[in-house]
């Protein structure tokens, strides 16, 4: 895609350091920056979804977002949640900024 960190890509890394109670704060911090996309493993999904409805969120997990209750259907694109499993994006919001 031609992205080079430091040239045309900036990655804002955040870690809860094992303290999952920090996840909502970290999600709100990223939203305030603002960032173009949030990528997070499963524990960070709900805090990220609570922090924003406009920034696309990529779920880095093999968990099924429907079975986890995060979305009603992968066919019904009503949230900013995307699901990435095994390096393949299998669902994406059609109105995302990419």
52-86 confidence digits (pLDDT tens): 988 888 888 767 777 877 777 766 555 565 544 43
Tell me whether residue 75 is in a domain. yes
CA distance 38 to 57: 5
pTM: 0.70
Tell me whether residue 3 is in a domain. no
* Domain that residue 52 falls in: 20-91
Tell me whether residue 64 is in a domain. yes
Q: In the chain, how many domains are there?
A: 1
Tell me whether residue 24 is in a domain. yes
Tell me whether residue 41 is in a domain. yes
- Exposure b/e, 72-98, CB count within 10 A at least 16 = b: eeeeebeebbbbbeeeeeebbeeebee
Tell me whether residue 7 is in a domain. no
CA distance 96 to 22: 27
Tell me whether residue 2 is in a domain. no
Q: Which tens digit of pLDDT belongs to each residue from 21-58?
A: 999 999 999 999 988 888 888 889 899 999 998 888 88
Tell me whether residue 10 is in a domain. no
pLDDT of residue 97: 40
């Amino acid at each position: 895609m031609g992205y080079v960190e430091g040239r045309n890509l900036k990655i804002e890394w955040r870690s809860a350091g094992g303290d999952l109670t920090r996840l909502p704060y970290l999600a709100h911090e990223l939203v305030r920056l603002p960032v173009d996309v949030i990528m997070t493993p499963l524990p960070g999904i709900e805090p990220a979804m609570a922090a924003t409805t406009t920034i696309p969120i990529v779920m880095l997990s093999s968990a099924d977002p429907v079975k986890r209750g995060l979305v009603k259907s992968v066919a019904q694109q009503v949230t900013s949640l995307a699901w990435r499993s095994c390096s393949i994006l299998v669902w994406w919001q059609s109105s995302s900024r990419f």
